[in-house]
Structure 1
Amino acid sequence: MKPGALLSMLGPSTSLQRRLIFASVVGVTLALCGAAVSIGAVLHRFVRGQLDGRLDERIVSLVSDVRGDADGRLALRRDLEVPPFDHLRSGWYWEVRRGDAVLRSASLGGADLAVPAGPAGDDRPAPADGMGPFGDRLILRVLTVPGRLGEAATVFVASAPASALYGPVLEALRTLGLCMALIGALLVVAVLVQVRVGLRPLRRLLEQLGEVRAGLRERIPAEQPLEVRPLVGEINALLDQNAANLAHARGHVANLAHGLKTPLATLAMAFGSTGSSPDARLAGLIEDMDRRIRHHLRRARAAALSGPVRTKVNLAGVVEDLVMVLGRLHAGKGVVFETEVLAGLGVACDRQDVEEMLGNLVENACRWCAGLVRVSARREDSSVVVMIEDDGPGLAPGDRSAVLQRGRRLDESEPGDGFGLPIALELAELYGGSIELEVSSLGGLAIRLVLPG
């Protein structure tokens, strides 16, 4: 199976670090296996060359020492029974054959080597591997010397056991295998180190993105490795585009607020001058509308001036102030507050927005609770989760999405305009957060507010 096919099995969602390590391990394994096969082939050829040279030397000695008499018999001028050709059935054999005349090494024990004659006239021995007379595999070298006028050709044969070739090769391969395993382990360790060092810029980029999301910086620094620079450029371009869109939207808010201020002021003057009771009530509503528009206009201006970089808001301080104010407002109901917010836990939001979100949510819990409201907060990764719970009647699953719609109220008998939860949701989403309604462990409703930390 090809490495590409193996990588495709990992799937697109697999860890990049895992893919790199897997590809490197496969590559190292294939390279080491290829190296082992190549070295094994070289060793086989080297040892075979040594054996062939040794057998050829024996054949050359036989050619120079064998003589024939007038009766056609063969004889040696000197004794050639030297180790290892003197050990019976050792595989180290030699034999000289001319017609019916035969000379053999003592190691053959009178048996014959069934070897076909090589090509006559060749001045170098040729390989002719086969089986020996005792069923053992032999490495054979054969030289056929043509006879003189009227004489038969003389065949010289020398052999060595196959174990003389494969034994040293296998022993060398075992040692080579241990060395290859050690080299492979060192290469895998080097790959792990290389991958961790190579992916370090991506981890640093992730931290910088978290800082951008938390409002600690406006853009990602351009000083990045060459391969990451195009990605950083695209991210910064997206951040610039979002900032431009946000500034454009804030400009529209400011323009809308400015456009409504004059008509509202005119209406306030008109209804205020009449002095009648209904008109006075309408004048109060108009004044309230004017106050809200001025508030959002100031916030839009402040946000436009401060840009996307935001400071941390101490969540514990905001919760403490809200509990104190709402406790007094609902003193007649006897609401008890439980707070579990660590000191120093902050959110990257405008303080006024945090106060408005938590104020709406905690006020809603106070309105519907039986007597207990719990506010807790904890950090989860780069976000802060705030839980507002009460021991009231809660909400049915089908009603939880309805109360997040603007102006939607499930109980018209209770005071309110139905805008508290939707406004809190809108503000949370502006900061990349969310609001979810769940069942509280106290028995009532639990509001899960997620904000950037």
Structure 2
Amino acid sequence: MLSGAVVVILTLLITAILLVYLFREHIEQHFDALLFDHIEELVAATSFTPDGSFKLNWSPQDPRFQLPNSGWYWEIRQAEKTLSSSRSLQGEQLNVSKLQGGGVLTVLRKKRLLLSELMAESLLEIQHFSGPDNKLLHAQLLVITFPQANQEILYIATGPISEVDYDVSRFAKQVIISFWVLGSGLILAIVFQVRIALKPLKAMSNAIGDVQQGKKERLPENYPDEIQVVVSEINSLLDHRTETLLRARKDLGNLAHTIKNPLAVIINEADCIKNESGQLIHNKAELIAANLDHYLARARAAGTANLLGSRTNIVKVVDDLRYSMDQLYKDKQIKISIQNLGNNYFCGEAQDLEEMLGNLIDNACKWTHDQVWIHATRDKHNQRIHLFVEDNGPGIPDSQLAIVLQRGRRLDDTVSGHGLELNIVNDITQLYSGSLTLKKSSYGGLCAILDLPVSSN
């Protein structure tokens, strides 16, 4: 839009300058023609007595030649002597420079003078000089040699250049006003046209934003034909990706069911073997099941991370997890406190958020003495949220915080688990361009911080 306005302004400016230039050329040509008319009249009024004396039969009737210091003058000279002049000169002579001989009468103007006696060396010249009143004058000078005269006769007709400048100035003002109105109208037309033309694109952009935030599953199908083709292709891609994702989830579920059932049988049978071999089989089978859960969760998260339309209510997930933990750790009578979660939505799948927060809250409940705190801070500028899960348990030494994020690493073998929970959380957060940070809690235990993409309601 801005570039269009600049082009319009530059085009109108160049056109205005060209028009003013052409108008000045026209006015100057008209001015020259008018002065030549007066010279033609003076030549026509010239006659000679039988003894060769100059005689002017009449004077030009233009009233401007009668007004003193009007700038409109005429003068006839012979050998630097004034033979006749206009009343406006008041007996003074015009300050004519020496003729350079640069201008020659055209055939047309010779015919207009109706003087077949004109010599070939007759000259017409244009000069600019100051008049008696110090006005800058535009003058035409015609040198003619008559057969009846002994010497050349110089005809001079002048007019003030200020009149040309005045006419051009008036025309320029009118052009500026006209082009200003025209330019304003064109720019307004461009603005309205661009706004109207971009309105469907802006609506489509907003609709895509709603799809990204999970407010809509598809783009509306009510756009102009020029844009509808693109919208239909986008919707087709969304439908295809959703269908592909659902098929992949189904296949993962079938794979998990196919493998987990035989594993469960192996674990149960291993429990019946009351020796070291049975215990070894039991432990390895459980490790296989844990690794299977880990990689299935990672594969599911990899397929849904940054998926358009994925949007999960954080408060709802946390409330559900608190209820589950209250039931799971009923004997410990743990108080789970939820604060400042706000009306925020995680830009991802509910299962992934449940996997991440579930592992963190479960880990906090295992180690806490009696209370777990869950709260959040929102970075509105970058559309991120920091979810905090804290406990008042023994915590983890700073030197070992990085170790517990490694797969299969455990600091205490007396607590149930396979050392995969925090590693799973870390893997999933990275798939969402997030991070998991561990540090000492102000309550004395461990503080786990999830950095995740978020959108408001």
Q: Give the alignment's TM-score, normalised by structure 2.
A: 0.71
One-letter identity of the residue aligned with 1:178: I
Distance in 2, matches of 1:203 and 1:399, equals: 51
Q: CA deviation at 1:32?
A: 1.4
Q: 1:292 to 1:401 in 2, by over 3 A?
A: closer
Unpaired runs of 5+ in structure 2? 114-123
Aligned to 2:174: 175
In the alignment, the residues of structure 2 paired with residue 154 and residue 400 of structure 1 have an alpha-carbon distance, to the nearest angstrom, of 114
Residue aligning to 2:375: 375
Give the 5 Å matches for 1:87-126. 87-99=67-79, 100=81, 102-108=83-89, 109-114=91-96, 116=99, 119=104, 122-123=109-110
Q: Higher mean Cα deviation, 84-93 or 286-295?
A: 286-295
Shift of 1:37: 0.9
Q: Does 1:450 align with 2:453?
A: yes
Task: Give the drift of 1:95.
Answer: 1.4
Shift of 1:227: 6.9
Contact 2:47 2:55 in 1 (8 A): yes
Change (3 A) 1:394 1:290: closer
Q: What is the alpha-carbon distance in structure 1 between the residues aligned to residue 46 and residue 131 of structure 2?
A: 23
Moved more, 235-244 or 23-32: 235-244
1:83 aligns to what?
Answer: 63
Greater Rg by CA? 2
Specify which of 4, 11, 15 is matched with residue 35 of structure 1.
Answer: 15
Superposition RMSD in Å: 4.9
The share of aligned pairs that are identical, in percent, is: 26
- What per-residue deviation string (whole Å, max 9, x for no partner) do you get for residues 184-224 of structure 1? 34433333333333333443333343344345666667886
Aligned letter for 2:180?
A: A
CA separation in 2, counterparts of 1:369 and 1:273?
34
Alignment of 1:419 with 2:401, yes or no, is no
For 1:31, give the aligned amino acid: T
| C-alpha displacement of 1:433 | 5.5
1:87–1:402 CA distance, 2 compared to 1 (3 A): farther
Q: Report if aligned partners of 1:313, 1:351 keep a CA contact under 8 Å in 2.
A: yes
Contact 1:388 1:447 survives alignment (8 Å) = yes
Q: Report the Cα offset of residue 231 of structure 1.
A: 6.7
1:131 to 126, 129, 132: 129
SS at match of 1:107: helix
Once residues 287 and 312 of structure 1 are traced to their aligned partners in structure 2, the CA distance between those partners, rounded to angstroms, is 33
8 Å CA contact 2:217–2:309 kept in 1: the answer is no
Query: What are the residue-to-residue correspondences of 1:350-389 with 2, within 5 Å?
Result: 350-364=349-363, 373-376=373-376, 380=380, 385-389=385-389
- Return 28-37 or 133-142, whichever deviates more: 133-142
Aligned 8 A contact 1:66 1:74 in 2: yes
> Structure 1 pair 323/138, CA: closer, same or farther in 2 (3 Å)?
same
Asked whether the equivalents of residues 72 and 101 of structure 1 are also in contact (C-alpha less than 8 Å), the reply is no
Measure the CA separation in 2 of the matches of 1:160 and 1:374: 95
Partner secondary structure for residue 373 of structure 2: strand
Q: Which amino acid aligns with 1:200?
A: K
- Contact 2:71 2:131 survives alignment (8 Å): no
- The one-letter amino acid paired with 1:128 is I
Asked whether the equivalents of residues 436 and 448 of structure 2 are also in contact (C-alpha less than 8 Å), the reply is no
8 A Cα contact 2:294 2:424, kept in partner: no
**How many angstroms does 1:89 deviate by?**
3.6
C-alpha change, 1:227 and 1:282, in structure 2 (3 Å) is same
SS in 1 for 2:70: coil
Deviation at 1:128, TM superposition (A): 0.5
What amino acid maps onto 1:107 in structure 2? S
Count of residues paired in the alignment: 426
2:425 aligned partner, one-letter code: A
Q: Distance in 2 between matches of 1:175 and 1:38?
A: 14
Q: Which residue of 1 aligns with 2:435?
A: 435
* Separation of aligned partners in 2, 1:338 and 1:277: 45
Change (3 A) 1:288 1:154: same
Which is worse superposed, 348-357 or 386-395?
A: 386-395
Which amino acid counterpart does residue 376 of structure 1 have in structure 2? A
324-333 vs 358-367, greater mean Cα deviation: 324-333
1:96 to partner: Cα distance: 1.8
Q: What is residue 119 of structure 2 aligned with on the other side? A: none
Matched-pair contact (CA < 8 Å) for 1:365–1:389: yes
**3-state SS, counterpart of residue 180 of structure 1:** helix
SS of the aligned residue for 1:114 comes to coil
1:337 equivalent to 2:353? Answer no
Confirm or deny that 1:26 pairs with 2:25: no
- TM, length-normalised to structure 1: 0.71
- 2:204: which partner in 1? 205
Task: In structure 2, give the amino acid aligned to 1:341.
Answer: L
Change (3 A) 1:52 1:288: same
Q: Would the aligned equivalents of 1:395 and 1:445 in 2 still touch at CA under 8 Å?
A: no
CA distance in 1, matches of 2:438, 2:135: 84
The amino acid that maps onto 2:198 is L
1:158 Cα deviation after fit: 1.1
